[in-house]
Structure 1
Amino acid sequence: MTKVVFMGTPDFSVPILRMIHEEGYEVLAVVTQPDRPVGRKRVLTPPPVKAEALRLGLPVIQPERLRGSQELEEIIALAPDIIITAAYGQILPKVLLDAPPLGCINVHASLLPKYRGGAPIHQAILDGEKTTGVTIMYMAEKLDAGDIISQREIAIEESDNTGILFDKLSTIGRDLLKETLPAIIAGTNERIIQDEEQVTFAHNISRDQERIHWEKDARAVFNQVRGLSPWPVAYTTLQGENVKIWSAKMGNTSSNGEPGQVVNINKTSFEVSTGNGTIEILDLQPAGKKRMTAEEYLRGTGSKLSIGDQFE
């Protein structure tokens, strides 16, 4: 029986861990990030992978920092045949990469060499990509630079946001890994060297990327809203207060309004002008309030939002 150490942290990783366990591989340990405070009350919360590992009765290791830690020595001492990672969140040191005889492999949510880094799903939508996918790859010391083993491509639909695509790619990653693992274990898998000339990066989302720049065209703003939903969520300001924009669609109003200006209000939504075209706001969250539909917002604010008001 192949002995596995699994490393992952968010919801994306959970179906992959579950599949490895259900397929009968011997999971020696699950390595994940430490519990973190969550929400306004800062409740200490385990990462989703830890919750799943405990449900499955698997031992959990949670190093704050892997490199140079006692936990690193514990993982190596387990002597796994293979280490499988999926959105773990830390770089693996060379001593760990070199430890398992079958190597360390990663389930990465892009079609490498495109979008190496920690936010490939966000960035694909932000950039207006029409397709994305999952890569099963060998891990190397350089970020997401190892040899490609297998890939699967899917279309990015107009209705997809990061949350929806996250779930789709998690399922695809699970299925592709299930199909690919037997060949890896048998040593019959492909190894395709990445083309360094085609490399792009998807770094973790910065605060500036979250702010809507209304001077961009409507398509870019639409992609920003759906690319950052449901986390970390795009935002703008109105009358000096932050407003998160959770959901929007391309608008239909022909507008000569200034970028960020409200140009149309109806019962269920309102439209904001961009550098070229308009965006129809569907769900938003004013500062200090819960997320709400545009209809609820308009009903609650009454005449406070007017045509000509300016989002900054």
Structure 2
Amino acid sequence: MTETIIFMGTPDFSVPILKELHEKYHVAMVVSQPDKPVGRKRILTSPPVAETAKALDIPLFQPDRIRNEDALDRIREIEPDLIITAAYGQILPKALLDIPRLGAINVHASLLPRHRGGAPIHRAIMEGDSETGVTLMYMAEGLDSGNIISSRSTPITDQDDTGTLHDRLSGIGADLLMDTLPDILQKKNDSIPQDDDLVTVSPNISKSDERIDWSKGAREVFNHIRGLSPWPGAYTEYDGKRLKIYEARPSEGASGSTPGTIVDTTPDGIRVACGDGGTVEITAVQLAGKKRTKAVEFAAGRQINGIVLGQVE
């Protein structure tokens, strides 16, 4: 028997998972978010999963709202045995979850019940977690609240940012799904409820989340910067302009200066004072309207020592 699977996903994270699934199973349809205008020229662009579905010649469906009755009817027409989601981007209604014979499962980029929500990778780094992972779970009506089928962990090192961790977790998710799916399709797998006492929520990153708070400790500022790198990018204010900071590291020594003060320059960057008396060394920046550059190149020719970052005029 060949089971009929519908895959639902949207961003780059989901692409390796779809490709692995397509190699071994019958993916009858891919459901992704609608095309959106991108860039300064607002060019209508398909999301990565939609582009992958086209390249693999898999039927593609991009409804504006998955809970609309016409969208649900389209899913019912396929008569899927199983729905698999990975960062789809819309909450699935119970009417959809009830359609597949074997239920709906989700590949989620955290060790649930920690980091439920839309930004688990960013938040794991920003909150200083020492490890994270991927959880395969049955979908329920609540936000990432279904029973856990399996999970796989990975350490978060100081060398990680959201970009490196995103790519690693995407690969882990694909491997975990392929290892677990045979038992799911044969109804041989177990699942366990999540511990409600351990739940944390990681909402999507807002504009206010992107601004650096220099009054926090050096380690917290470091985690904040790398948790938002390479996207959307943490920022501060410099000379009345927005300065994005993409790379930093905790540095040795105390500053004794007002948080946000540029203490000095180093061979690799700029040292900035933080709220705990420590400092971080910034190594890659982008001033509004300019290209991303090394911090040492940004500092060259500028009298920056003593300037306090983050001041809004």
Alignment deviations for residues 211-246 of structure 1 (CA, whole Å, 9 cap, x no partner): 001000000000000000111110000121110001
Aligned to 1:41: 41
Contact 1:84–1:104 at 8 Å: present in 2 too? Answer: yes
- Deviations along 1:185-231, one digit per CA (max 9) or x if unpaired, are 11010110111111110011122211001000000000000000111
Q: Provide the residue aligned with 1:271 in structure 2.
A: 271
Identity across aligned pairs (percent)?
54
Counterpart residue type for residue 306 of structure 1: I
CA RMSD of aligned residues (A): 1.0
- Assess if the C-alpha contact under 8 Å between 1:63 and 1:69 holds in 2: no
Counterpart residue type for residue 59 of structure 1: P
Alignment of 1:196-275 (within 5 A): 196-275=196-275
**Corresponding letter in the other structure for 2:285:** L
Counterpart check, 1:59 vs 2:59: yes
- Tell me the equivalent position of 1:305: 303
| Corresponding residue number in structure 1 for 2:184 | 184
In structure 2, C-alpha distance between the alignment counterparts of 1:42 and 1:261, rounded to whole Å: 38
Q: Matched residue pairs, number?
A: 308
> 1:129-187: CA deviations, max 9, x gaps?
00101000000001100000001011001100011100000000000000000000110
Counterpart position of 1:134? 134
Distance 1:125 1:8 in 2: 23
In the other structure, the counterpart of 2:159 is 159
Q: Deviations over 1:92-120 (max 9, x none)?
A: 11111000000000000001111110000
TM-score normalised per structure 1: 0.97
Contact kept? 1:210, 1:232, Cα under 8 Å = yes
Amino acid at match of 2:237: T
Match of 2:3 in 1: 2
Q: Any stretches of 5+ residues in structure 1 without a counterpart?
A: none
Deviations 1:66-99 (A, max 9, x none): 1114222101211010000000000111111000
User: How many angstroms apart in 1 are the aligned matches of 2:303 and 2:52?
Assistant: 45
Distance 2:192 2:234 in 1: 37
SS in 2 for 1:153: strand
Give the whole-Å Cα distance in 1 for the aligned partners of 2:141 and 2:149: 17
- Matched residue, 2:23: 22
Conserved 8 A contact 2:285-2:292: yes
Q: Aligned AA for 1:310?
A: V
Alpha carbons 1:6, 1:30 under 8 Å: kept: yes
Specify the code of the residue in structure 2 equivalent to 1:16.
Answer: I
- In structure 2, the residue matched to 1:284 is 285
Q: SS of the residue aligned with 1:49?
A: helix
Contact 1:267–1:298 (8 Å) recurs in 2: no
Ranges of 4+ aligned residues in structure 1 off by more than 6 Å:
none
The answer as to whether partners of 2:67 and 2:96 remain within 8 angstroms in 1 is no
Aligned-partner Cα distance in 1 for 2:269–2:104: 49
Tell me the distance in 2 between the aligned counterparts of 1:180 and 1:124: 24
1:223-277 Cα offsets, whole Å, 9 max, x none, are 0000001111100001211100011111224211110000011343110001021
What do residues 9-61 of structure 1 show as CA deviations (whole Å, max 9, x unaligned)?
A: 011000100011101x1111100011111122222111000111111011111
Q: Which residue of 1 aligns with 2:14?
A: 13
TM-score w.r.t. the length of structure 2 is 0.96
Distance (whole Å) between structure 1 residues aligned to residue 293 and residue 54 of structure 2: 35
| Structure 1 contact 212–236 (Cα < 8 Å) conserved | yes
Gaps of 5+ in 2: none
